[in-house]
Amino acid sequence: MCGLLSLALLCGACSGAPPRLRVRLDAGPLTAPFDTPVHVTLAGLPPSGLVTLDARTTDDQGRAWVSSAEYRATASGTLNLSTAVPVAGRYHVADAAGLLWSLHPAYPTSPAAQYIPEPTGFSVTMRVLVGGQVQAAATLRREETTPASIQTVRRDDFASALFVPPKVRPGAPAIVVIGGSEGGEPTLAADALALTGYPALALGYFQEPGLPQCLCAIPLEYFARAVGWLRAQPVARGRRVVLVGGSRGAEAALLIASYEPHLFDAIVAISPSATIHAAFGGPGEAWTFDGKPLTTGAPIPVANIRIPVLLSDGGQDEVWPSATSASVIMLELRGYGDRAPYINLYYPGAGHAAAGAVPYFPWSDIGSHGAVHGGSEQANALAAEQFWTKMINFINNPSVPLT
**What is the per-residue pLDDT across 184-204, written as a single tens digit (0 to 9) for each?**
999 999 999 999 999 999 999
- pLDDT class for 303, splitting at 50, 70, 90? very high
**What is the per-residue pLDDT across 62-100, written as a single tens digit (0 to 9) for each?**
999 999 999 999 999 999 999 999 999 989 999 999 999
pLDDT at 147 over 80: no
Identify whether the C-beta of residue 298 lies closer than 8 Å to the C-beta of residue 288.
Answer: no
Identify whether the C-beta of residue 128 lies closer than 8 Å to the C-beta of residue 21.
Answer: no
Least confident of 138-142, 156-160, 184-188: 156-160
Residue of 223 and 90 predicted with greater confidence: 223
Structural domains in the chain, CATH included, are 24-143 (2.60.40.2240), 147-396 (3.40.50.1820)
Rounded to whole angstroms, how far apart are CA atoms 123 and 57? Answer: 6
Residue 292 CA, chain-centre distance (Å), reads 34
The pLDDT score that the predictor gives to residue 20 is 64
Rounded to whole angstroms, how far apart are CA atoms 41 and 98? Answer: 13
Residue of 7 and 252 predicted with greater confidence: 252
Contacting residues for 368 by C-beta, under 8 A, at least 6 apart: 104, 111, 112, 113, 377
**Residues above pLDDT 90, as percent of the chain:** 74
Least confident of 211-215, 321-325, 332-336: 332-336
Rounded to whole angstroms, how far apart are CA atoms 82 and 68? Answer: 15
Region 372-397: what's the mean pLDDT?
91
Identify whether the C-beta of residue 349 lies closer than 8 Å to the C-beta of residue 379.
Answer: yes
**Residues above pLDDT 70, as percent of the chain:** 91
Q: Is the dihedral of CA 268, 32, 199, 177 positive or negative?
A: positive
Q: What is the phi/psi pair of residue 238, to 5°?
A: 80, 0
Region 353-361: what's the mean pLDDT?
84
pLDDT at 112 over 90: no
Rounded to whole angstroms, how far apart are CA atoms 286 and 21? Answer: 63
Identify whether the C-beta of residue 44 lies closer than 8 Å to the C-beta of residue 77.
Answer: yes
- Please state, in angstroms and as integers, the Cα–Cα distance from residue 161 to each residue in 92, 199, 256, 363, following that order: 38, 11, 20, 21
| pTM for this prediction | 0.90
Region 282-311: what's the mean pLDDT?
96
Rounded to whole angstroms, how far apart are CA atoms 333 and 65? Answer: 44
Region 387-395: what's the mean pLDDT?
95
Q: What is the mean pLDDT of the chain?
A: 89
pLDDT at 353 over 90: no
pLDDT at 5 over 50: no
Rounded to whole angstroms, how far apart are CA atoms 213 and 113? Answer: 23
Identify whether the C-beta of residue 263 lies closer than 8 Å to the C-beta of residue 224.
Answer: yes
pLDDT at 361 over 60: yes
- Nearest-CA neighbor of 82 among 65, 93, 96, 92? 96
- pLDDT class for 338, splitting at 50, 70, 90? low
Rounded to whole angstroms, how far apart are CA atoms 403 and 396? Answer: 14
Region 237-264: what's the mean pLDDT?
96
Identify whether the C-beta of residue 205 lies closer than 8 Å to the C-beta of residue 218.
Answer: yes
**What is the per-residue pLDDT across 29-63, written as a single tens digit (0 to 9) for each?**
999 998 899 999 999 999 999 999 999 999 999 99
Least confident of 80-84, 138-142, 155-159, 329-333: 155-159
pLDDT at 17 over 80: no
Rounded to whole angstroms, how far apart are CA atoms 122 and 100? Answer: 11
Least confident of 13-17, 120-124, 126-130, 207-211: 13-17
